[in-house]
Structure 1
Amino acid sequence: MFYPEDLVEEIRVKNDVVDVLSSYIKLKRKGSSYFGLCPFHNEKSPSFSVSPGKQMYYCFGCGAGGNVFTFIMEYENYTFQEAIKYLADRVGVELPEVEFSKEAKEQADLKSKILEINKLAAQYFYMQLKNDSGKIAYDYLKNRDLTDETMKRFGLGYSSKYSNNLYQYFKNKGYSDEILKQTGLFNIDEKKGVYDKFWNRVIFPIMDVNNRVIGFGGRVMGDGSPKYLNSPETKVFDKSRNLYGLNFARTSRKNHLLLCEGYMDVIALHQAGFTNAVASLGTAFTQGHANLIKRYTDQVYITYDSDGAGRNAAVRAIPILKDVGITVKIINMQPYKDPDEFIKNLGKEAFEERIEHAINSFMFELEIMEQEYDMKDPESKTKFFGEVAKKILEFPEDLTRDNYIQAVAETYHVGYDNFRQLVNRVGIRLGGISPREKAKPVKNSIQSKDGGMKESQRILITYLIEEEGLYDKIKDYITPDDFTEDLYYTVACILFEQLKKGEVNPAKIINHFTDEEEHKQVAGLFNTKPKAVETKGDKEKALHETIVRVKENSLIYKSSNLSSGDIVAEMQRLTEGKKMIERLRTLHISLD
């Protein structure tokens, strides 16, 4: 549902950016702005700036920026509509109700009821762990080196040895069999009737990114089968679209996620300080998992079990992650089986070293593939390199292929030139692949010029927001048409309209964009800083040079992009533009 612009602006105005962001990060006032550690990247010195005047934030370290909507979208991973609902509820603004069909309302009510029951079940299991009857489970978790704080954080619990305790608990609360059957917490048998799915197990509540309990996992504490038992899929639980621990990992400041196989691996890593660990939920890694991860990061370190099954599972996950644009590395757990055992025996620092020395996913795949060949037999070894050549040819870029040719040559001690020739021969044999025509390098002067054009336009937009009265002094010379980038032009049109009315509102401008990346770019436009100057005169001179440069660049751009319409009229406009530049050169811009 889309909401009226006036309503969106009312919600934004009532949610002061400093007030909202202070509930997430610690901010300290410096001059007219507030500063803190950026929640979107790992840093030691505060570069995250929040401006009460602009009602915006901007990180000078990673470039994250926007208004209060942007922050909630990026931090909570909400859509624009979800951010509006969240902030409206925060300040008590009533949103127009969405009209549901009868069927849609019934489904929404069912999901709400299942979530309610799951929450109560999680509380029940946690209390059982703390009771005398749960001592067996509590001792088991303690023997696994988990602290009380970790048990509480992950809501770990215990299902008693009696198979109908939970069922009776909910029946006493008045829940019907019909609704209880749809939660996945109970089994149904013609002879036994309805009974608990989980009993005599340690319980792991599974939460979605918004900390709602959507399912459960149960582990036996000794010998038993199955070792792990998971909730079936329900109206609120889709195994292929959720990851265990993501509700915590998504707020980690690390720029990557650690992908594990099991609950205990995730919990052990979080307890050791690696709060960016997640795991799939008792199912093979899927495209849905990869798409979910992509919302938070573009880099994953796989830390599956070091046995054959774990390594094969990693091989299957790699292409799924790569297909959505995620870079993958593999962490070596040997001589231990999994992260839980590794941390217990070698500790946090050793695991950090393993992360630093994680192997590139392509080279890891070669390690697995190598096991299929007798590398002591010349013929078998040649076949291996032929298969490696085929894999290298899957890379579309010449530079990437060349980098991997070099890496393979160094790793397997073969001559670079000989191996490169092999790759070329295999390419030609497979389909006439020939060396691609190399694109002519763009001259540095052109790149510099283009970068200078954009930089000048960004600086001028920032000046127009920060320097009161500047618009009136340059409005006869500079128009939105002088901003040649599409995004800059759109922003300039809105900004100039605000300046004309005397009501500059940068945060409101961002409301015109719903994409997070556009929010970030627009915020960057409003926070571009020119080179530092010492005096007011130097600043006025720098501003004057920026204005002239923007107009000159605009003229150059227009002259090189003449339309096929009225050429005479176009040339007249260019002539007028040149005259205006001459007048601009003699114009004095005062910042009084």
Structure 2
Amino acid sequence: MSFYSQELVEEIRSRSDIVDVINSYVRLQRKGSNYVGVCPFHNDHSPSMSVNQPRQMYRCFSCGAGGDVFKFVMDYENLTFPEALKVLADRAGIELPERNVSREEREQEDLKSRILEVNKVAASYYYYLLRKPEGKLGLDYLLGRQLSMETLQKFGLGYSGKTGHELYRYLKNKGYSDALLKESGLMQVDEKHGMYDKFWNRVMFPIMDSRGKVIGFGGRVMGDGKPKYLNSPETRVFDKSRNLYGLHLARTSRKPNIILCEGYMDVIAMHQAGFNQAVASLGTAFTQQQSTILKRYTDEVLLTYDSDEAGIKAALRAIPILKDAGIRAKVINMEPYKDPDEFIKALGSEAFQKRIDEAESSFFFELRVLQRKYDFREPESKTAFFREVAKKLLEFEPGIERNNYTEAVASRYHLTYEQLQRMVSQTGEQLGGMTKVASPAPPPGRKRPEEGGLKSQKLLITWMCSGEKIFRSIAKYVEPEEFTDPLCRKVAELLTEQLKEGRLNPPSLFQYFTEEEEQQKVAAMCNDTIPDLSGREAEEKALQETIRRVKQNSIAWQTEHLDPGDMDALQKLIRRRRDIEKLHISLD
């Protein structure tokens, strides 16, 4: 996870008090033994995030976000672990050692840094030129689109000169080499003209990565030139399939969704109207890599592609990509207008917010588009439509979600639930058993052993994280393999290994888990509080009961998975069950 030693990581952690670090992003207030604040990872107004200073961990009891100081900086700033380590090292005044990299790696890193530098200088030049007499054409266009000077500044909009040599001459005077300018994608070269500006007579849109570094440009031509929009070519720092326009601003919006637009002007108009969660893909179809990026920030994306045929096709392509990334997709209806920019100019922000609130489920959007292919006046055509609907319903797992959608579709198209459900079943059989059989549920009021014991396992992990003395007491009675939940067992193994090495360090657990869901569960276990107990005797009794349940659950699980012919193993389990009854926990 890091290029640096574990000792250095722990030194940076020890000098980065989590309360001080989080308080520099979010205002914290002391409440009892913890600190609380408004969680920055979901749209909230009341304090739902708790920061535990002794354990150096945080957790939001509303959205589930949680972790250590590195995890907070990674999520808030959208950084990799090494990048977050560098931020905290700089903050703590710790100089990171030079990494041992090859000459070729160092050269590539240097080239990337120089391209980012020249892009930043170019963006400043375009920004400057827009406000000079030479940029009047571009400024008039942008002001004519009803953009404010504040918005122009916020997005760093600029103008490229008319001759096609202005930027080249400016950058050469700054001392940049032709080789670097060619690598940057800002120039073109041919035998007749030599090196000249790629962008000229265009309004310029700097494209920034999630941290606000200029990685490329988009340009909108002034007049009738072609192409209307032109983007930077791919370079060492710019890959249009892995970036989104406006993300550096949208990622801190703290809105419950992200709005995906088709173009630069839509994003800018949306931000100016107060919808600062808007982003756009960069002149290409929406990609899987872009959906993965969006998943870091939201579970819901609202599509505002143009309402023409091209926009509808683009939305239909984007929906399955979003679903595959685990993102809920909805579609905003902008009719009778073509795009968000036109809609907001005509009807205003409040009307657009109403359309957001009424955004259509992507499933029903797909059905509405599908319906256009069928003539409901013809019985055969209408039946064929419902067969296609049945196929789409089969994409949902059997259970509540499929039942809910079946019920909603039946209501919308004036069928009974039973009629549509029967067609779904028949279609599944015709397609070769596409319907899936759900696992039989346990009888009401009875849980499977591993489900019934999960609460006790989580609580015991919380006890184990609360201090070395209690952990050593627990370790006398419980082995990590007695945890039947895989995540609890992994955490118990890691904590046990830490104790053997001489120091319990729960915050360092997060580096062993890469999935967001796992990290949230670990944060919940490690950061939960043990109920207030009056006195040592009550504490021992509560701990004893928790350990007993974990051990009983372990035996129940092993009994369920036991080979019926293995009598020796069965006898051992019987003896262990008897031993549990005699269990007496001491915190000495």
TM over 0.5: yes
Report the CA distance between 1:440 and its aligned residue: 2.0
Figure out how many residues of one structure are paired with residues of the other and give that number. 587
Distance of aligned partners of 1:204 and 1:569 in 2 relative to their CA distance in 1, 3 Å threshold: same
Report the CA distance between 1:414 and its aligned residue: 3.5
Report Cα offsets for 1:481-520 as digits up to 9, x if no partner: 4433233233334435656787443223434445544332
Instruction: In structure 2, give the amino acid aligned to 1:412.
Output: Y
Report Cα offsets for 1:345-392 as digits up to 9, x if no partner: 333332222122111212212222222233333343333333333433
Report the CA distance between 1:473 and its aligned residue: 5.2
Q: What percent identity do the matched residue pairs reach?
A: 54
Taking the TM superposition and a 5 Å limit, the aligned residue runs for 1:399-478 are 400-429=401-430, 431-433=431-433, 437=437, 439-447=439-447, 450-466=450-466, 469-471=469-471, 474-478=474-478
Question: Which segments of 5 or more consecutive residues in structure 1 lack a partner in the other structure?
Answer: none
CA distance in 1, matches of 2:389, 2:559: 51
2:308 counterpart residue number: 307
1:319 counterpart residue number: 320
2:167 counterpart residue number: 166
Worse-matched range after superposition: 336-345 or 101-110: 101-110
TM-score (norm 1): 0.88
Question: Secondary structure at the residue paired with 1:447?
Answer: coil
Question: Secondary structure at the residue paired with 1:522?
Answer: helix
Instruction: In structure 2, give the amino acid aligned to 1:456.
Output: S
Worse-matched range after superposition: 269-278 or 513-522: 513-522
Question: Secondary structure at the residue paired with 1:397?
Answer: coil
Matched, 1:337 2:338: yes
Distance of aligned partners of 1:320 and 1:6 in 2 relative to their CA distance in 1, 3 Å threshold: same
CA distance in 2, matches of 1:569, 1:373: 65
Report the CA distance between 1:211 and its aligned residue: 1.7
Worse-matched range after superposition: 503-512 or 568-577: 568-577
Report the CA distance between 1:51 and its aligned residue: 1.9
Question: Which segments of 5 or more consecutive residues in structure 2 lack a partner in the other structure?
Answer: none
Distance of aligned partners of 1:532 and 1:44 in 2 relative to their CA distance in 1, 3 Å threshold: farther
CA distance in 2, matches of 1:493, 1:537: 28
Taking the TM superposition and a 5 Å limit, the aligned residue runs for 1:62-141 are 62-141=63-142
Instruction: In structure 2, give the amino acid aligned to 1:308.
Output: E
Distance of aligned partners of 1:374 and 1:278 in 2 relative to their CA distance in 1, 3 Å threshold: same
CA contact (8 A) 1:482 1:554 kept: yes
Report Cα offsets for 1:539-561 as digits up to 9, x if no partner: 66544533443343344344445
CA distance in 2, matches of 1:448, 1:351: 48
CA distance in 2, matches of 1:151, 1:565: 77
CA contact (8 A) 1:256 1:276 kept: yes
Distance of aligned partners of 1:92 and 1:561 in 2 relative to their CA distance in 1, 3 Å threshold: farther
CA distance in 1, matches of 2:536, 2:492: 26
CA contact (8 A) 2:299 2:326 kept: yes
2:376 counterpart residue number: 375
Question: Secondary structure at the residue paired with 2:54?
Answer: coil
Instruction: In structure 2, give the amino acid aligned to 1:459.
Output: L
CA distance in 1, matches of 2:434, 2:465: 53
Report the CA distance between 1:258 and its aligned residue: 1.0
1:25 counterpart residue number: 26
Report Cα offsets for 1:153-203 as digits up to 9, x if no partner: 211112233321111101111222222122222232433332222223221
Distance of aligned partners of 1:193 and 1:481 in 2 relative to their CA distance in 1, 3 Å threshold: closer
Distance of aligned partners of 1:144 and 1:29 in 2 relative to their CA distance in 1, 3 Å threshold: farther
Report the CA distance between 1:46 and its aligned residue: 0.5
2:17 counterpart residue number: 16
Worse-matched range after superposition: 379-388 or 117-126: 379-388
CA contact (8 A) 1:40 1:253 kept: yes
Distance of aligned partners of 1:26 and 1:150 in 2 relative to their CA distance in 1, 3 Å threshold: farther
Note the aligned Cα RMSD (angstroms). Answer: 3.2
Distance of aligned partners of 1:175 and 1:381 in 2 relative to their CA distance in 1, 3 Å threshold: same
Distance of aligned partners of 1:17 and 1:189 in 2 relative to their CA distance in 1, 3 Å threshold: same
CA contact (8 A) 2:323 2:329 kept: yes
CA distance in 1, matches of 2:572, 2:394: 54
CA distance in 1, matches of 2:552, 2:515: 31
1:250 counterpart residue number: 251
Report the CA distance between 1:123 and its aligned residue: 1.1
Distance of aligned partners of 1:398 and 1:503 in 2 relative to their CA distance in 1, 3 Å threshold: closer
Worse-matched range after superposition: 501-510 or 323-332: 501-510
Matched, 1:524 2:524: yes
Question: Secondary structure at the residue paired with 2:338?
Answer: coil
CA distance in 1, matches of 2:226, 2:587: 80
Distance of aligned partners of 1:460 and 1:339 in 2 relative to their CA distance in 1, 3 Å threshold: same
TM-score (norm 2): 0.89
CA distance in 1, matches of 2:523, 2:202: 51
CA distance in 2, matches of 1:19, 1:255: 27
CA contact (8 A) 2:559 2:573 kept: no
2:552 counterpart residue number: 552
Question: Secondary structure at the residue paired with 1:274?
Answer: coil
CA contact (8 A) 1:65 1:520 kept: yes
Report the CA distance between 1:438 and its aligned residue: 5.1
CA distance in 2, matches of 1:464, 1:112: 46
Report the CA distance between 1:329 and its aligned residue: 1.2
Instruction: In structure 2, give the amino acid aligned to 1:80.
Output: F
Distance of aligned partners of 1:564 and 1:8 in 2 relative to their CA distance in 1, 3 Å threshold: farther
Instruction: In structure 1, give the amino acid aligned to 2:328.
Output: T
Report the CA distance between 1:328 and its aligned residue: 1.5
CA contact (8 A) 2:265 2:341 kept: yes
Report the CA distance between 1:343 and its aligned residue: 2.2
2:215 counterpart residue number: 214
Instruction: In structure 2, give the amino acid aligned to 1:196.
Output: D
Distance of aligned partners of 1:402 and 1:56 in 2 relative to their CA distance in 1, 3 Å threshold: closer
CA distance in 2, matches of 1:474, 1:326: 41
Report Cα offsets for 1:86-122 as digits up to 9, x if no partner: 4334434444544444443333332222111101111
Question: Secondary structure at the residue paired with 1:50?
Answer: strand
Distance of aligned partners of 1:516 and 1:413 in 2 relative to their CA distance in 1, 3 Å threshold: closer
Report the CA distance between 1:589 and its aligned residue: 6.6
CA distance in 2, matches of 1:193, 1:497: 64
Instruction: In structure 2, give the amino acid aligned to 1:477.
Output: Y
